[in-house]
Structure 1
Amino acid sequence: MTADPHAPATDRGSKVPFAEQIENAYQRIGLTSAHLGIVAMVLFGVFFDAIEQNTVGIAGPMLKEQWGLGGTEIGLLNTATFTAVALGRVLAGVIMDRVGRRPLLGLNLLIFAVGSLICALAPSYEILVAARFLVGLGLGGEIAIAVIMLSEFFSAKHRGTAVGLINVAAAGLGNMLAPLFGVIVFAIFSGPDGWRWLFGVLVLPAVAVVVYRRALPETPRYLVAKGRIEEANTVLNRLARGKLRGEIASPERYLEASGAEEAAAPAARWTEAFSGRYRRATASLGVAVCMSYAAQISMLTLIPVILTERGLSLTSALWYTLVMQSGSLVGALTAAGLARRLPRKLTLTCAAVLGVGAALGFGFLAVNIGLVLLFGFLFNFAVIILNTTIWLFAPEQYPTRIRGLATSVILAIGSLSGGLFPLIAGAVLDSFGVAAMFALLTTLFAVCALAVRFPAETFGLPMPEDR
């Protein structure tokens, strides 16, 4: 029998599993101004993270002209970034399950800021590649920690929308406004060194977000997993009162545990995500995110080059890219809404099938600028629904003690794919043209459609715990 979610934890006793106690507490608390503050602090960071991920594509035509780079060399810049992102995500996953989610958010952005500054000052292509690697290390844990934090701060009813908002800020607003950011920077800092200002200007918001996030609390689920029940109750009281700082008068006890249950859960081993009951989810979601990231980053990296090669000026290409990227915003908003209404696997399958159609249309039917914009919009719409839903689906497969590590491993696989695949897509573009490149991306969506059928459905269920 399920316990009454409106009864105090002390009335139900400590026999109620922590997963149910936390879920019941979240249902009683509902949504408060503290939740909105937490969401805002997380989203500001991922917004600038997304803009940064677009900078190579935006600066690509200028670097191609100034340094004589081809599609393969421009792809290598993203390879360096996203290979480091993959490494950074795995490291963040290991660390966040040991020291917490909160401490890494500021460190990630500071490393990214240093890397961006070196990018702005890079005297050669080789230094720029190395600087992009450093940027990637800093960005690596940002999305992974954001996904985990928001999934752990909300009940099953609101969790999908909360996590979906990450991609509204990142792939939606961030990706869509990144070309506009490029237009503004190049208008203010005209000349051949405009790309340097593109990287350098992003240092300022990164530092500002670090300061802004000082009030962000640790998640109750992590605190419970570490046996820190009193601290978890304090955070729950802050959520209930809508107060992230200051004293809490007459705090309520939302969670109760016996002395044995107050001990920390055993430390996670990185191999657990690939063994036992978790193997199937990790493998299938790893394949799915590998396909979706490869398609997304290839598009982000190479579309400005494709448009300028068709005779458009750099400014015009960036404006057209902005129109196509509006599909990312609409896709993220759609995914956030669907998360409360449709099963994860159905959403993922439909989005992958739409991606197949959009990629084929862009490669073989986009004979004028109107069709280019239409199929580009649909491509981004589909791929962002995929990424957003995978970000939500993955944390729901694992208990708190390995959730950060397992989710980070899955996202790292995607980042590695996003880093390596633009090299392949760029080489295909250089050798065989646009149609061949988008035929290749069509295959990615088809494989993704198959892979998402294998994990266990989690729609409407509480997040799992070991105890």
Structure 2
Amino acid sequence: MVLLGVFFDALEQNAVGLVGPVLRESWGTSAAELGFLNTITFTAAALGRLTTGIIGDKMGRRAMLTVNLLLFSLGALICAFAPVYAVVAIGRFIVGFGLGGEIAIAVTMMSEFFAARHRGTAVGIINVTAGGLGNMLAPGFGVLVFTMFSGPDRWRWLFGLLAVPALLVLFYRRFVPETPRYLLSRGKVDEANLVLNRLASGRLRGELGEPKHYITAVDSGERVVPERNRLRDVFAGGLRRRTLSLGVAVCMSYGAQISILSLMPTILVAQGHSITKSLVFTLVMQSGSLVGALVASTAARYVARKVVLTVAAALGCAAAFAFGFLATDVALILTLGAAVNCCIITLNTTIWIFAPEQFPTRVRAFGTSIILALGSLAGGLTPMLAGAAFDSYGMAGMFTLIGVLFVGLAVSVQIPPETFGRPMEEDGPEAGK
């Protein structure tokens, strides 16, 4: 259920890039106006992540999944029926708010459901579904919609069909439990044991047999009295350095990713390719995203987080410079584009794994949300810089900027402590003291 939600998140995240050429054809929308739609989407995503993090730490993770899914489905419908550009912008703000919160709470929940040995792979699978499959299939979804529906308003169908995730809300309410780790942090030992019994039985509904007491007030690794949620802790003591350094890192990776996602179809059309062909090319390049997510998820079990981040950033920098200066034919564009996307999603996935491990349970959702919110802000602002670089200096200028972002990421990830193979409790509770 969590993975299905983030899959649709990825399709929604790609929507502006997919409809961009059609909106320009239909409404005469300028490149600046398209860039603003991305900016407002990712600014709202930052707000959604912060809000979800605060509520998730105070009221629980589970309920926010349903709320966020409903929000971005509502926003998609508003975009589909928008009579003017301003209404599309309002719809994208609502979409962004729900989208940002959904991913932040999904990362937190998956990190809390799994033990240290499997945690990295489990969180990484989120981006296999979103950054990998979602980003790769999004251009194919665009081709399918624009093939099935014709006319200047065919972009409306793409937005409208993305409202389908609202149907998943009923399943969220029935099947997804609260995380035992959160319940323990609130002193709810009996409820935590109930969830653990359901997970152990493989039955999230129906009657259970004689319950086992996996955790007691004596042997639990978490406190069994409610912990005070001091949200300012993420900017105090040892947590401040972790929050800021990973915040810089995620700004670099999200800025690179969203610049490519939002601008590549329009850039390819500007170079003389048809809308359909540009989307097909983008799909091929996005196959690298799936490879990157799989690499990061697999490496999470065997390789330290900082090693993965440093190596992927170095390779991404090399691929970006090669794309900017050497991609002169279709084969090189597709190959180097896939390589850049592979490195970007390897970085994003590993940051998603790394971020929740830096915080104690009492502020984990908020701390993770702060980091991802900074990424959303960068995702909203960087495409404008990348677009200006492309307008002034072409592909070389745009991908030089992306290469510089990779360098900044490689430096910033050296600051937070390594968490590979360690239980969350080993670093978290003491980090803010």
Q: Which TM-score bucket, shorter chain as reference?
A: over 0.9
Query: Whole-Å Cα distance in 1 between the matches of residues 168 and 73 of structure 2?
Result: 11
Structure 1 residue 446, shift from structure 2 partner: 0.6
Query: Whole-Å Cα distance in 1 between the matches of residues 93 and 388 of structure 2?
Result: 21
- Show the counterpart of 2:168: 209
Task: Select the residue among 78, 83, 95 that pairs with 1:123.
Answer: 83
- Aligned pairs for 1:5-404 (under 5 A) are 41-204=1-164, 206-213=165-172, 214-257=174-217, 261-269=223-231, 271-404=232-365
Structure 1 residue 135, shift from structure 2 partner: 0.8
Structure 1 residue 294, shift from structure 2 partner: 0.3
| Alpha carbons 1:102, 1:216 under 8 Å: kept | yes
- Amino acid in structure 2 at the alignment position of 1:116: A
Q: Deviations over 1:404-457 (max 9, x none)?
A: 000000000000110111112122222332211111111111100101111100
Query: Whole-Å Cα distance in 2 between the matches of residues 279 and 454 of structure 1?
Result: 11
| Alpha carbons 2:185, 2:223 under 8 Å: kept | no
- Show the counterpart of 1:459: 420
Structure 1 residue 358, shift from structure 2 partner: 1.3
Instruction: Tell me how large the CA RMSD over aligned residues is.
Output: 1.4
| Alpha carbons 1:71, 1:430 under 8 Å: kept | no
Query: Whole-Å Cα distance in 1 between the matches of residues 188 and 177 of structure 2?
Result: 14
| Alpha carbons 1:71, 1:427 under 8 Å: kept | no
Structure 1 residue 123, shift from structure 2 partner: 1.6
Q: Which moved more, 1:246-255 or 1:422-431?
A: 422-431
SS at match of 1:466: helix
| Alpha carbons 1:97, 1:268 under 8 Å: kept | no
Query: Whole-Å Cα distance in 2 between the matches of residues 268 and 72 of structure 1?
Result: 40
- Amino acid in structure 2 at the alignment position of 1:264: P
- Amino acid in structure 2 at the alignment position of 1:433: G
- Amino acid in structure 2 at the alignment position of 1:133: F
Structure 1 residue 261, shift from structure 2 partner: 4.6
Query: Whole-Å Cα distance in 1 between the matches of residues 276 and 396 of structure 2?
Result: 24
| Alpha carbons 1:71, 1:429 under 8 Å: kept | no
Structure 1 residue 325, shift from structure 2 partner: 0.2
- Show the counterpart of 1:29: none
- Amino acid in structure 2 at the alignment position of 1:74: L
| Alpha carbons 2:228, 2:362 under 8 Å: kept | yes
Query: Whole-Å Cα distance in 2 between the matches of residues 368 and 132 of structure 1?
Result: 35
**Aligned positions, number:** 425
- Amino acid in structure 2 at the alignment position of 1:102: R
| Alpha carbons 2:194, 2:211 under 8 Å: kept | yes
Q: What's the TM-score once normalised by structure 2's chain length?
A: 0.96
Structure 1 residue 262, shift from structure 2 partner: 2.8
| Alpha carbons 2:359, 2:429 under 8 Å: kept | no
Query: Whole-Å Cα distance in 2 between the matches of residues 267 and 402 of structure 1?
Result: 6
Q: Deviations over 1:312-365 (max 9, x none)?
A: 111111111000000000100110000000000000000111110111111110
| Alpha carbons 1:298, 1:421 under 8 Å: kept | yes
Q: Deviations over 1:63-118 (max 9, x none)?
A: 12222233322111100000000000000000000110000101101111111111
Query: Whole-Å Cα distance in 1 between the matches of residues 366 and 91 of structure 2?
Result: 26
| Alpha carbons 2:184, 2:223 under 8 Å: kept | no
Query: Whole-Å Cα distance in 2 between the matches of residues 368 and 336 of structure 1?
Result: 32
SS at match of 2:429: coil
- Amino acid in structure 1 at the alignment position of 2:166: V
Query: Whole-Å Cα distance in 2 between the matches of residues 311 and 450 of structure 1?
Result: 38
- Amino acid in structure 1 at the alignment position of 2:183: L
Q: What's the TM-score once normalised by structure 1's chain length?
A: 0.89
Query: Whole-Å Cα distance in 1 between the matches of residues 385 and 275 of structure 2?
Result: 24
| Alpha carbons 2:322, 2:336 under 8 Å: kept | yes
Query: Whole-Å Cα distance in 2 between the matches of residues 327 and 268 of structure 1?
Result: 40
Q: In 2 relative to 1, CA 261–225 (structure 1 residues): closer, same or farther, beyond 3 Å?
A: closer
Runs of 5+ unmatched residues, structure 1: 1-40
- Amino acid in structure 2 at the alignment position of 1:44: L
Structure 1 residue 247, shift from structure 2 partner: 1.9
Query: Whole-Å Cα distance in 2 between the matches of residues 149 and 356 of structure 1?
Result: 32
Query: Whole-Å Cα distance in 2 between the matches of residues 422 and 369 of structure 1?
Result: 23
- Amino acid in structure 2 at the alignment position of 1:154: F
SS at match of 1:329: helix
Moved over 3 A (4+): 258-261
Q: Deviations over 1:272-314 (max 9, x none)?
A: 1111010111111000000000000000000001111111111
Query: Whole-Å Cα distance in 1 between the matches of residues 230 and 31 of structure 2?
Result: 41
Structure 1 residue 190, shift from structure 2 partner: 1.2
Query: Whole-Å Cα distance in 2 between the matches of residues 338 and 306 of structure 1?
Result: 33
Seq. identity, %: 58
Structure 1 residue 174, shift from structure 2 partner: 0.3
Runs of 5+ unmatched residues, structure 2: none
Query: Whole-Å Cα distance in 1 between the matches of residues 387 and 92 of structure 2?
Result: 18
- Show the counterpart of 1:10: none
- Amino acid in structure 2 at the alignment position of 1:440: L
Query: Whole-Å Cα distance in 1 between the matches of residues 208 and 417 of structure 2?
Result: 40
Q: Which moved more, 1:456-465 or 1:397-406?
A: 456-465
